[in-house]
Structure 1
Amino acid sequence: MIIRRLGVMSVAKISAIIAAVVGLLAGILFFLVSLAGGAAGAMSDNDPGMAWVSGLGAMAIVVLPILYGVFGFIGGAIQAFVYNLAAKFVGGIRIETE
């Protein structure tokens, strides 16, 4: 079996979903780190105004999956397009199955 052509939109959609899930995980991690940093800053006598940092983490849970999804869509479309161009010259990817 040889993959000679990829559907650009189908690859772009799958890439967007995968990237959005990675973005959600990154957003959750950013939230946890900023929550700890905001709490530590709020408890500090030196800079009690750092409590707002935890709000950035909450925003990251929403913003990062969207940004990752958009850039994943664009990246997937570009990769599929370039693959289609390259496959014309080299014949595509050969896959052996049982």
Structure 2
Amino acid sequence: MLTGKQKRHLRALAHHLNPIFQVGKGGVNDNLIKQVDETLELRELIKVSILNNCGEDKNEVAKAIAEGSGAEVVQIIGSTIVLYKESQEHKTIELPK
């Protein structure tokens, strides 16, 4: 579980990132979760964009992706989700205590 201070730090790092994945009318599926998990292992911090034609609620989408990939939801702002997962082999982000 991330503390408020850690989330603030991650939000600052994510500010300049562009969304890598888009969730559309297909919603969240196993393939998307697998790709998000692999990308999080390499980058640790990513953004996911939710398109207008996605029929699911953005909070449900964030929860499904986070649970499926083992990530933490850092922020949901507008139609963009920021996800963080500590990498096992490619650790680059140092979280404040």
Give the TM bin, normalised by the shorter chain: under 0.3
Structure with greater helix share of residues: 1
Larger Rg computed on CA atoms:
1
Structure with greater strand share of residues: 2
TM-score (norm 1): 0.22
TM-score (norm 2): 0.22
